[in-house]
């Protein structure tokens, strides 16, 4: 899919609500600056599209696996502050991130399939109460 077509598709009403909560509308949130943008670096299209999104931090290239990003700080951030995330990644990255975020934060997630390999998604989080998920001895 060409870049213009993709952006058109993403901003049209094709976003599938995964968890629908009282939250900013998807269209409005697409115009914001994202805290983090993820793209699957194995696919040129993902790289092209993700670098066109407005983000506070450099877009992060991934290869399907959330593990290194989650355990190196994203888990802490999700507990401490609202996050506005966007990505064009494979199923596994999107699925795992969504499940992990739900444990730590209230989540508004919207996903749409871009092609057989890639999922376009946005996720907005607000931290849950802090005593929920801190294991302790």
* Residue closer to other proteins (CB basis): 45 or 55: 45
The single residue among 41, 96, 112, 126 that binds other proteins, judged by CB under 8 A, is 96
Residues 1-40, mask of contacts with other proteins (x by CB under 8 A): ------------------xxx-------------------
Residue 76 contacts other proteins per CB under 8 A = no
Token digits for 94?
């999107």
Sheet of 60-62: strands edge to edge? 16-19, 105-113, 119-127, 83-89, 36-40, 60-62
> Interior CA angle at 14 toward 10 and 17, to 5°?
105
Q: Are 93 and 87 in contact (CB under 8 A)?
A: yes
Residue 100 contacts other proteins per CB under 8 A = yes
Residue 36, C-beta contacts closer than 8 angstroms, at least 6 positions apart:
55, 56, 57, 60, 74, 83, 85, 86
* Residue closer to other proteins (CB basis): 5 or 67: 67
Binding site for other proteins (CB under 8 A): 19-21, 42, 63-67, 70-71, 90-92, 95-96, 99-100, 102-103, 113, 115-117, 129, 132-137
């Amino acid at each position: 899919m060409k870049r213009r077509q993709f952006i058109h598709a993403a901003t049209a009403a094709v976003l599938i609500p995964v968890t629908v909560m009282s939250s900013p509308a998807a269209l409005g949130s697409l115009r914001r600056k994202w805290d983090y943008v993820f793209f699957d670096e194995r696919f040129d299209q993902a790289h092209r599209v993700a670098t066109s999104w407005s983000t506070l931090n450099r877009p992060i290239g991934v290869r399907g696996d959330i593990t290194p990003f989650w355990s190196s700080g994203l888990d802490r951030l999700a507990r401490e502050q609202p996050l506005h995330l966007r990505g064009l990644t494979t199923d596994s990255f999107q699925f795992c991130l969504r499940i992990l975020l739900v444990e730590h934060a209230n989540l508004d997630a919207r996903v749409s399939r871009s092609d057989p390999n890639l999922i376009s998604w946005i996720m907005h989080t607000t931290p849950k109460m802090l005593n929920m998920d801190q294991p302790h001895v």
